[in-house]
Structure 1
């Protein structure tokens, strides 16, 4: 007999503080991710954040929900992102994943969205036939350094034994690239690098449409799902620690000392993302800053779904990229969610919307 338990903010807090979350063979959530979920300013006290499936009092699986909302005509349309879904191999074949999903659908009246899913998860979502694709985001990945030691063995496992050779090749080529880029000068315009959004930035970004306010962005910057420098917990199957995981809030000023652009950058193990970008028409200064920042922080690659920015970087002969490729981020909405939204509603997601900026 499968028993399902739903945890809202209060229940999740008690679950974590009691230590019960560590009492099973695997973790359904980490302490720091739970604390972040509890502090989510877009979550109501009674909304479900985590659903646990038990069989004979043994944890069999779980699904995590990240509450969110759209403001439509001044009213909140509440929904949730599926952030985790896992069923232990000891309990496979008992339709536990389906039961967990059905419970999530029930808790949110079908208003469920998903993105950044694995191929296996996508196959499951297509199989149950409740989800529909909405318009995907087109992006770019810009390579600034070589990374043969990780990319080639991941694609061709039979070449793993050659990893020391690939590592040596990376050292050689990246030394040449670093020497070439070492002549990158510090931008001559004013810029600031902060750890979170300040009051001046709040006043600046309020003029742009966004699904997250400054305070909502600061929430996950101050309460990250991934901690830097720690050892990954083998009992948790999703991201929890990285050698490098850091947010940067960037402020860019023009030659007249006028605030013209701001952005949230996320640097994880040499991979830079741009979850949020708020800018007036001119992006050249931000691009120059990005080149400078990338060299100073040894960025290996940049992934961005900021269409205008990507187009300008692609056509910028001075930007220190060695290769680029197209990316696509797919989104799925539950069919009931689509029926509840206004006809032809466009969510206008930025790179970081959903749980993308949290991992």
Structure 2
């Protein structure tokens, strides 16, 4: 039993190998491997996966995603997954993350860390962490049937009855959403959907990304959209993987918001089974009112069930103003970087929600 590494250049052949086919659970999904193989920021010699197995039994793994520091071009790595078997992998969590730090050249960051993960990493004395970052999850429609089915798959026959309740509750609360839809349409900028990032959008993103820690260019946005990490599948899971990866639907859309033809904002909105997130957004803070109304108009028209957002300006606005949320709750995350790249992070201390793996999942 030893720690093994898979390089970016070896990902495609690894998921076709007999070793991968026999491993259970899998240390990487096929979609994630193909996506990372096409990473425009990666060299073929960069390490993408570290894992430990006892024969065909997976005991633990950690994933690395090569990125680059904004406007410096310095390679850094995002830790996108980290898992150890709860019984047979005890004692492997810290060695795996230490190996990840080593393989990254001590240039590792975590865009979204939980308090529990943060406490483990602090014991290594190799990381600096941000203050808690507050986000909002706003619930827009009732979807108790989906929640019930995810938690109690063996009671699938009851989901139809619960779903009928969702239909009734959503019918009764429709006037509430209709009121906000009309209100937001009045204040919305002109919304234009983008398939690719052209010169105008690229220059706009560059203008408003000065404090972003991670570089995002047209090639990155093309990669995000073309190579998601999720398995879109309506039946049983095709194979075991320790993290959620099978969904009924997933999509990533890009929009520019205009006023009288002038570009005012760029926003990326993802949809994972009717959960909307905003992995990337760029705008002038003076336009916050119209930007929020534009985003919420899009989300209401698409009938998404809920929205998660961490952008500090948008969170502050939503906390201070009435929104079409039936219920809202606070989301907390931490960002952390290894001490060797902390000075670069402090110079550009903003990690967008998509700078980890959210944009792919």
Superposed, 1:164-313 pairs within 5 Å as 167=163, 169-182=165-178, 184-185=181-182, 190-209=190-209, 210=212, 211=214, 212-231=216-235, 232-254=237-259, 256-280=260-284, 281-313=286-318
Output the TM-score relative to the length of structure 2.
0.83
Partners of 1:233 and 1:240 within 8 A in 2: no
Unmatched 5+ stretches in structure 1: none
- Between 34-43 and 223-232, report the one with greater CA deviation: 223-232
Whole-angstrom CA distance in 1 between matches of 2:89 and 2:142: 40
Output the TM-score relative to the length of structure 1.
0.84
User: How many residues in Structure 1 have an aligned counterpart in Structure 2?
Assistant: 349
Change (3 A) 1:337 1:282: closer
Partners of 1:3 and 1:53 within 8 A in 2: yes
Q: Where does residue 332 of structure 1 map in the other structure? A: 336
SS state of the match for residue 171, structure 2? Answer: helix
Question: Which of the numbers 67, 73, 76 marks the counterpart of 2:73?
Answer: 76
Cα deviation 1:222-260 (Å, max 9, x = unaligned): 110113345434411123221121111111111x22111
- Are 2:348 and 1:351 equivalent residues in the alignment? no
Whole-angstrom CA distance in 2 between matches of 1:343 and 1:123: 20
Whole-angstrom CA distance in 2 between matches of 1:57 and 1:314: 49
Partners of 2:136 and 2:329 within 8 A in 1: yes
SS state of the match for residue 100, structure 2? Answer: helix
Partners of 2:197 and 2:218 within 8 A in 1: yes
Partners of 2:26 and 2:58 within 8 A in 1: no
Change (3 A) 1:238 1:56: closer
- Are 2:321 and 1:321 equivalent residues in the alignment? no
Whole-angstrom CA distance in 2 between matches of 1:125 and 1:153: 34
Q: In the TM superposition, what is the alpha-carbon distance from 1:34 to its structure 2 partner?
A: 0.4
C-alpha RMSD of the superposition = 3.3
Q: Where does residue 135 of structure 2 map in the other structure? A: 139
Unmatched 5+ stretches in structure 2: none
